[in-house]
Amino acid sequence: MWRKQSEVKPSTSSTGSFDSPSYAPPAGSAPASSSPSISSFSGGSSPSVDSTILTRGIRIKGDLAGKGEITIDGELIGSVHVSEARVAVGPNGHVKADIEAREVVVRGNVEGNLRGRDRVVLGATGSVKGDIDAARVVIEDGAIFRGRVEIGRETLQRHEQEARKSAPAPAAQTAPAPKPASPAAAPPKPAPTPVQTLSAPNTSATTPSPASASSSTSSSTAGKEPVSTPAGSSGGSR
Partner 1 sequence: MNWVGKSRALAIGPRIPTRRADSAVPTVTSNRNAENFRLSNGLKDFLWLIGDVEHGRLLDLGPIWQATLTFFVERGFRLTTEDILRSWKEYTNAEEDRLRRARAGEETVALSPDEMAAHFLQYALQYPPEEFHAVLAWDIFDYLSGELMKRVAGRLYEIVRPGGAVLGLFHSRPPDEFHRYRIVDHQTIETIPAMAPSGHKRVFQNREILNLFGRFKSAKTFVGRDQLREGLFIR
Residues that bind partner 1 (CB under 8 A): 122, 137-141, 143-152, 190, 192-204, 206, 208-224, 226-230, 233-238
CB of 186 to partner 1, least distance (A): 14
CB of 140 to partner 1, least distance (A): 7
Q: Which is nearer to partner 1, 168 or 201 (CB)?
A: 201
Look at residue 165 and give its three-state secondary structure.
Answer: helix
CB of 123 to partner 1, least distance (A): 12
Cβ atoms 62, 96 nearer than 8 A: no
Q: Which is nearer to partner 1, 148 or 158 (CB)?
A: 148
Q: Which is nearer to partner 1, 44 or 194 (CB)?
A: 194
CB of 232 to partner 1, least distance (A): 10
Q: What span, in angstroms and rounded, lies between the C-alpha atoms of 175 and 148?
A: 44
Torsions phi, psi of 133, nearest 5?
-135, 110
- 187-190 contacts, C-beta under 8 A, 24 or more apart: 187/156, 187/160, 187/163, 188/156, 188/159, 188/160, 188/163, 190/152, 190/155, 190/156
Q: Which is nearer to partner 1, 178 or 226 (CB)?
A: 226
